[in-house]
Amino acid sequence: MINIYKYGDVSNDEIFARSNATVDVEGTVAEIIKNVKDKGDAALFEYCEKFDRAKLDSLLVSQGEMEQAMASVEPRFIEVLERAAANIRKFHEKQKRNSFIINDEDGIVIGQKIIPVDRAGLYVPGGTAAYPSTVLMDSIPARIAGCREVVMVTPPGADGKVNPVILAAAKVAGVDRIFKVGGAQAIAALAYGTESIPKVDKIVGPGNAYVAEAKKQVFGMVSIDMIAGPSEILVVADGKSDPEHVAADLLSQAEHDRMASAVLVTDSQELAAAVSAQLEIQIPMLKRAEIARESIDKNGKIIVAPTLDCAIDIANEIAPEHLELCLDNPFDYLDKIRHAGSIFMGRNCPEALGDYFAGPNHTLPTSGTAKFSSPLSVDDFVKKTQYTYYTKEALGKVAEDVAYFAELEGLGAHAKSAMIRTEDEK
């Protein structure tokens, strides 16, 4: 049963505690990465047979396999994918940045260029955790950014095939190439390249502990989006909220995995009790009841705050991945939210809308990192470079200032490089 805490009656350590279960995979992942670097495709085939029980002739998903997948999924699924993709594109198109130039002083031009990374690599989980929504969320921003190529890695089943819903989503999203490889070995292949899989500039996408550790270890060789932790939801709700709805929203994240975190913060003791009761009713009805049960019992909590303003303060301190404001007037509180991955406003906006359909990205900062990081966006697939142009006359006006600054730092060659260009005029 979920724990209920009254804010102020228990220590903040209990209020703000997070799931701390960790798996020590650093050494195993380091060995996998080294093996892929040394042996390339051969290592990938070996790992695929070992971990996925699939003996492959090729890592690349063929055009024929793509056509088979599109033919095998329900037409309605394609229609829903396309509607969701349209919403995601509409939202992310607004994120595009423009280059700029400043030329308001004689002889001086400065500016900034926005340049997409050449190649983006997407990791998409497979097996029982096959999420076509992740394909859309991770690849559409890359396409909008203007990446020259978007490649995807995802583990095959024992039959050597990729889940057709994943391939259908990749087709709708415009992924260029798909490779049948998962786990830490897939991240290593994207980071260093193999005979079949090209080296990428950016790796994005969620995965298990091995994938997260691999992304951490290859960071610096390539860019990554984030090190994702367990799924999280925090619901701020008042006494007028429907406990059945709130419980359902909490369980929408609890069913993800046993380490997921579902938290309700409310100013109503009555709602707290009612939601706790509803959880006990709804959990047995879930297909993933065993997972949700462990998540709620170990990591779930209900916090009763004295006021809604206090509830907002608690939410900011936790900085959840998903934050729901189940209130009649959610926009009154929007400016008070400083730390959250994505905010869902009002009583009719379940977090599931964001997972699949609304348009804002569902690849979000977890584990309190919303205090300093952001959802996946078009910005993740671009880089900025800057440029400077001075005429001789413009340099002459500032050369002594540059030289003075350089000498102050003890860097005489810096100073000379500026002054030498003006010496012939003295």
What positions carry a catalytic annotation? 321-322
Distance between CA 219 and CA 198 in Å, rounded? 17
CA distances from 3 to 242, 291, 315 (A): 19, 17, 17
The number of beta carbons lying within 10 Å of the beta carbon of residue 407 is 13
Spatial CB neighbours of 82, under 8 Å, sequence gap ≥ 6: 172
Paired residues of 219 in beta bridges: 222
Sign for the CA dihedral angle at 198, 201, 205, 207 comes to positive
Instruction: Kindly provide the residue ranges of all beta strands, DSSP E only, lying in 201-294, ordered along the sequence.
Output: 202-204, 223-224, 232-237, 261-266
Q: Where are the alpha helices (DSSP H) in 48-96?
A: 63-72, 75-93
Cα dihedral 308/314/315/321 (nearest 10) = -160
| Token pair of 88 as six digits | 């995601």
What is residue 135's three-state secondary structure? helix
Assess contact for 303 and 215: CB atoms under 8 A. no
Assess contact for 153 and 204: CB atoms under 8 A. no
